[in-house]
A and B are shown apart, each in its own frame.
Chain A
Amino acid sequence: MEHQPYRLAEEFDRFLGDPDDPGEVFSHARCVELDDKEEFPADICRRFQEWGLPEQYVPVEYGGRLRDYEQVLQLVRAVARRDLTCAIGHGKTYLGGVCVWVAGSAEQGARLGAEIMAGVPVSLGLTERAHGSDLLAGDVRTDDKAADTEGHWLVSGEKWLINNATRGSVLALLTRTRPDGGPRGFSVLLVDKRELDEDTYRHLPKIRTHGIRGADISGIAFDGARVPRGALVGAEGAGLEIVLKALQLTRTMCAALSLGAADHGLRLGLDFAEERELYGRRLIDLPQARQVLAGAAADVLLHEAVALVAARAVQTQTAELGVTSAVTKYLLPTGTDQVLADLTGLLGARAFLKGVYAGGRFQKVARDHRIVGLFDGNTLVNLNSLVNQFRSLARGFRRGTGDTAGADAACDLTAPLPPLDPARLTLVTRHGSGVMAGLAASVDEITRRAEQNPVIGPVAAAARRLLDVTTAVHAEMEEYQGVLTEVPPAAFEVARRYTLCWAGAACLGLWTHSTDHFGDDPGTGELWRDGRWLHTALDRLLVRLGEPAAAGEETYEELLGALRAARSSGRLFSLLPQRLPERQPVRTGAAAVESERTSC
């Protein structure tokens, strides 16, 4: 069955051209060159503008084309697959706009939407040099003591480590509007630099970084800048609330960056293993190499499944996004860093060298991806926010409550998505997780299917084990449900286990609700039939939960076969079909790469 978000992403990818062709604007060669020179990919961003990518960041009610978050996920993933600097440098405009989408007036939304579609970069200014994740410590403030502040705010202070602070024209700025601060002491101001007196602000120099080296990571310092009163987004004092809601959306969408990076890394690992010849054999024929590749492939599909459910849940289960986003923003970046680390072992020296294998792209993607787990709420911040919700999550699981209808709709890829209603975003998930509450029903469903089709038996057995572990994890959560201040390391570990269980529940939900529609595809259907991708996904999760393995070598061998088949037929290795614009690889054995044969 056709799935629209993948179709549009395929079309966009085709428009961008073959990345292996150095003549294309958005080629791998160009991205490596820009990274070396630490130069912003301005010409590539113009291609995005030509195609209309910015329209996809603007909700339809403000004149854009953003209706389904699942669509943005796949578009940004397509960019991230080639280059994370471009995905982060351009996608940041979505982050800049999101506070307005969440809480702005209709007029603000329409005006900002028009600017974004015209190509104006927008940024989000939360972080300050001295305060990092501690948003309420922010010192960027307004001065209400000055004489003439009737028509404007007087803003002073410095935001630092801001993506597009220099290139951007508009900045959503978290500002202290009450001197004593506190959760009601901050507001979001949509500051338009073009309207400011040039003497009242200055840009801070570009900060040199380990990855995404071409991105504009800089800062901005205000000194009594006169910002019109109309720049206020939502109510005065609502800044923290707006930002925390906006972050639920952006943290979920960060999945696109991890998916794209993993697509790229897996491709490089596979090509290397196919081409490299050692001791008279190809690397891909060595059992250890096969295991690494198949494991990485299993993780890539697991992450894709989680991201699909999470991106759809933005609209079907908006009130639970505080949980969904924290799970996603924890799991995908850390899981993808692990995939890249595993593949690093496979590539050996070629993961370390620049310019020797595939233009040094592997070391670049591994470097670039490191940032995804750091910004927009780092790994620990996300686990911490789950710990804060243990009380209601444990209670919800005990009672079987949560938005299960919303979870079912997220898992059924053929179900139409309701439009996002930002008013349903909430800082607390009140009645537990619908994805978790639906786990028992998914387990029953796969058990029922296994009775008809014994091949699924081991997958159903793994699902039952997942339910047992999930029940145990919720019991562990009850022990820490009173922990709201000094969170002990053991509670972080329980939160980590919770994310793995949630991922398992999402995978099971996705498979049980969607497999009947996607098993017939000539390319990707075999991944769905007999629960193949689900089997390896559950195996990966159970092992990470400290349980015995659930899938054997044969299952991984089949997955590896699917990975190789996707590559040789020009398809993306994914749960749903998507063609890639690259030419097929020509396999001529070792000769295609190098002729070293000795192990040195």
Chain B
Amino acid sequence: MPVPTTGHTTESLTTWLAERIALYLKRQPAEIDPDVPLAEYGLDSVAALSLCGDIEDDFDLVIEPTAAWDYPTVHALAGHLVEELAAEAAKDGGA
């Protein structure tokens, strides 16, 4: 079920990412500190690539699979997603 593409904040995306990553790692979302690199939780670099599929599915946003390599914490990735979503919205608005 796609989430509405407007109104995302770093906070809402942080929550979404922590939940998703907790699911991958079979942990509780509260255990995921948004400033700790995902690799430290045992999410290996190839597994981290899978995030892009879920992001595309839930936000209708196509990102590079390697985004999780370039933005290796929940916070960093949430910040990147906010920017990408804003850029996407601007593109759609201008069209």
Q: Which residues of A contact B (CB under 8 A)?
A: 136, 182-184, 240-241, 244, 385, 388-389, 391-392, 395, 426-428, 430, 482, 484-485
Contact = CB atoms under 8 A, between A and B. Distances in A.
Q: When A and B form their complex, which 8 residue pairs have the shortest distance between CB atoms, in order from nearest?
A: A484-B47, A183-B45, A183-B69, A428-B65, A392-B53, A484-B24, A427-B65, A428-B49
Given A241-B66, A484-B24, A485-B42, 4 more contacts: A391-B54, A428-B65, A430-B52, A485-B24
Interface of B: 23-26, 39, 42-50, 52-54, 56-57, 62, 65-66, 69-70, 72
Nearest to A381: B46
Contacts of B46: 244, 385, 388, 427
Contacts of B53: 391-392, 395, 428, 430
A430 B64 CA distance: 11
A182 B39 contact: yes
Nearest to A182: B39
A183 B66 contact: yes
A404 B66 CA distance: 25
Contact of B56 (A182, A430, A482): A430
Contacts of B52: 428, 430
Nearest to B57: A395
B66 A484 contact: no
A389 B39 CA distance: 19
Contacts of B42: 485
Given A184-B70, A484-B43, A427 B49 contact: yes
A244 to B, nearest CB: 8
A321 B62 CA distance: 19
Say what secondary structure dominates the interface of chain B. Answer: helix
- DSSP class of A's interface residues: helix, strand, loop or mixed? loop
A388 B49 contact: yes
A392 B54 CA distance: 8
Nearest to B69: A183
Contacts of B57: 395
A244 B49 CA distance: 12
A242 to B, nearest CB: 11
16 contacts: A182-B39, A183-B66, A184-B69, A240-B45, A241-B66, A388-B50, A392-B50, A395-B57, A427-B49, A427-B66, A428-B53, A428-B65, A482-B23, A484-B43, A484-B47, A485-B25
Contacts of A392: 50, 53
A426 B49 CA distance: 10
Given A183-B66, A241-B66, A427-B66, A485 B47 contact: yes
A244 B56 CA distance: 22
Contacts of B26: 482, 485
B70 A391 contact: no
Contacts of A428: 49-50, 52-53, 65
Nearest to B72: A182
B47 A388 contact: yes
A181 to B, nearest CB: 10
A485 B54 CA distance: 17
B19 to A, nearest CB: 12
Given A183-B66, A427-B65, A484-B24, A389 B56 contact: no
A573 to B, nearest CB: 38
A527 B46 CA distance: 41
Given A184-B69, A426-B65, A485 B45 contact: no
Contacts of B56: 430
B45 A389 contact: no
A47 B50 CA distance: 46
A323 to B, nearest CB: 13
- Give the one of A240, A241, A427 with max B CB within 10 A: A427
Nearest to B25: A485
